[in-house]
Amino acid sequence: MSASGGSRAVLAALAANVGIAVIKFVAFLLTGASSMLAEAVHSLADSGNQGLLLVGGRRSRRSATPEHPFGFGRDRYVYGFLVALVLFTVGGLFALYEGIEKIRHPHSLDSPAIAIGVLVAALALESWSFRTAIGEARHLKGDAGWVQFIRRAKVPELPVVLLEDFAALIGLTLALLGVGLSTLLHQPVWDGIGTVCIGLLLVAVAVVLIVETKSLLLGEAASPAAVARIEQALIGPGVDRVIHQRTLHLGPDEVLLAAKLAMTPKSTLAEIAEAIDAAEARVRAVEPTTRVIYLEPDIDRAADRPENGVAS
């Protein structure tokens, strides 16, 4: 996985969630709290999700083949999409089912103090994982806001871990409220209500991830800032202007560029070839992720210019 930060965030989340899942399952067996079971399944699903992200990162590094000449960078998007589906089904729908059952058939909690202690410990571990993910994401998001980063990030691992950890922290708070209210008011139905809220939260987060990773799978262009830098870099000796260009992320760290360039009139074939080679070098210097470049030379016809209203 390229951005080592993404890998570190995934490993931190995996370590936290495995430990949390174990203590939550033990606490559920001791207390019978449905919100505790929902949170345990949530942590188990998150652990599996982090495993999927690591597998996707490893598979994406396979060398290109004649059947897949552009490599396997999009495997990271495929596994990110699978993570969203797992979170929706195993996490969200299971919690909704368990919560509704608890509301329909409420029963008192055994040893609620154990449940509360476990939830507090889980909050501490999830906070550590969330803090790690935030620290690694800051290197990529720049001046963008967090919502903007989630929507525009080309690296799927960090948005997934950030949203999972954020949902986990809110879910743990809801579970604490459910267990606490059930104990204080002697009304176990609150445990079921808390579980339903956890399920709705996980479904909402999963839908966001599904929408964003689906967009990446369909193929997204480079960021507007990157596109502007590429266009500026293409223009130079022998290249008068960019008639049009298209970019496509073949993976988080690999961009394909196709562009038609208006060359200086009366250039010789050798001069055109030299100008194109120089343009490629300039693009790779300003955007190293632009690894696959196809440039088509064309004649600089004044009538083709956009200001004259003629499309190229």
What is 4-218's CATH superfamily? Cation efflux protein transmembrane domain (1.20.1510.10)
Determine the pLDDT at residue 2.
44
Share of the chain above pLDDT 90, in %: 24
Cα distance between residue 123 and residue 234, in whole Å: 50
When pLDDT is averaged across residues 161-176 and rounded to a whole number, the result is 86
Three-class DSSP category at 242: strand
Which of 117, 178, 163, 152 is CA-nearest to residue 249? 152
Range of weakest confidence among 40-49, 235-244, 283-292: 40-49
DSSP state string for 207-222: HHHHHHHHHHHH--PP
pLDDT at residue 142 greater than cutoff 80: no
Determine the pLDDT at residue 6.
60
Domain with CATH 3.30.70.1350 in the chain: 224-308
Query: Which residues lie across from 165 on neighbouring strands?
Result: none
What is 224-308's CATH superfamily? Cation efflux protein, cytoplasmic domain (3.30.70.1350)
pLDDT, tens digit, 9 for 90 and up, residues 182-208: 888 888 888 889 889 988 998 998 899
